[in-house]
Amino acid sequence: MTTSSAIQKARDDEFESGVRLGSLEWLQALDTPTLRTKMSVAAIATLARGTALVAPLGGFLAPFGGSGADVFSGTDLMSPDHARTVAVICFWIATVGHAWALVDWWRFGRPRDGNGIAAAFLAVAAAAGTLWFYGSSWSQTALLPILEVPIIATGVLGGIALIARLVGSRNCTMRESRLMEMGERLRSLPAGEQQSLLAERRDILEALRGRDLIDADLAKRAAAARLGDWWLLEKEHGTSSED
pLDDT classification of 242: cutoffs 50, 70, 90: very low
The whole-number average pLDDT for the span 188-210 is: 93
The rounded mean pLDDT for the chain is 85
The whole-number average pLDDT for the span 202-231 is: 93
The predicted model scores a pTM of 0.74
* Whether residue 137 has pLDDT greater than 80: no
DSSP E strands in 72-147: the ranges are 111-112
Our CA dihedral for 80, 85, 87, 93, rounded to 10 degrees, sits at -170
Q: Which residues contact 55 (CB under 8 A, 6 or more apart)?
A: 90, 91, 93, 94, 97
pLDDT of residue 70: 39
Whole-angstrom CA distances from 233 to 100, 132, 223, 224, 238 are 31, 50, 11, 11, 9
pLDDT tens digits along 177-193: 888 889 999 999 999 99
The whole-number average pLDDT for the span 197-217 is: 93
Residue 138 CA to residue 51 CA, distance in Å, equals 28
Q: Sort 58 into a burial class: Cβ within 10 Å, 0-12 / 13-18 / 19+.
A: middle
Beta-bridge partner residues of 112: 173
Residue 235 CA to residue 94 CA, distance in Å, equals 34
For 84, the enclosing helix (H) or strand (E) is helix 80-107
Whole-angstrom CA distances from 100 to 161, 175, 243 are 11, 18, 19
Handedness of CA 137, 143, 145, 147 (dihedral sign): negative
Residue 186 CA to residue 182 CA, distance in Å, equals 6
pLDDT of residue 73: 40
Handedness of CA 106, 112, 115, 116 (dihedral sign): positive
pLDDT of residue 71: 41
Beta-bridge partner residues of 170: 111
pLDDT tens digits along 56-104: 999 998 877 654 543 434 445 567 778 788 889 999 999 999 999 999 9
